[in-house]
Amino acid sequence: MDLKPYLNRYVIIGMLSVAGILLIATLILIGWTSPRFSPEVGFAPADLTIIPAPTHTPNAIPTSTMDPNVTPTLEPNTIGVGAYVQISGTEGEGLKIHSAPSLNSDLVFFGGESEVFVVREGPQTADGYTWWKLVAPYDETRAGWAAADFLAVVPAPQ
């Protein structure tokens, strides 16, 4: 097949003209649709957070823990580690549960009248009260220190 009759100077000039028009149209469309730089924005520095490298953790001193398979034996109506207690005597106001055994420590939450907890630590004496660390049996995050004056021993659930 002979292409010489189709490749004359008019065809080549026409092809270059169409390519040039397409190139100019493309540049114009890109220019109109690209976002404009706004000089009033100025320089916005990036926030940099420096995270310190981990350090050596000293050896922890082992502490005794309760064996979950052993049920503690307590005298009836005596508060002790492992006993179930109920908030009572607050006349419906609830009981402030603190982060530490002290009236000056942070308030963690309010325990409702008749709410039941498990005693995990104690006793500790501070500010004229005997304090016990309580944990809700249904939510381990609901934990803190409460004064024994507003706690009553209840039987463990079966």
3-state secondary structure of 132: strand
Average predicted confidence (pLDDT) for the chain: 83
pLDDT for 106: 93
Residues of the chain with pLDDT under 70: 1, 32-44, 57-76
pLDDT for 51: 79
Contacts of 119 (CB under 8 A, 6+ apart): 79, 80, 81, 82, 83, 84, 85, 132, 133, 134
Domain that holds residue 146: 84-154
Give the total number of structural domains in the chain: 2
pLDDT > 90 fraction of the chain, expressed in percent and rounded: 43
Q: Is 76 inside any structural domain?
A: no
Residue showing tokens 């659930």: 157
Residue showing tokens 């049920």: 71
pLDDT for 70: 57
Tokens of 46: 């990036």
Q: Is 9 inside any structural domain?
A: yes
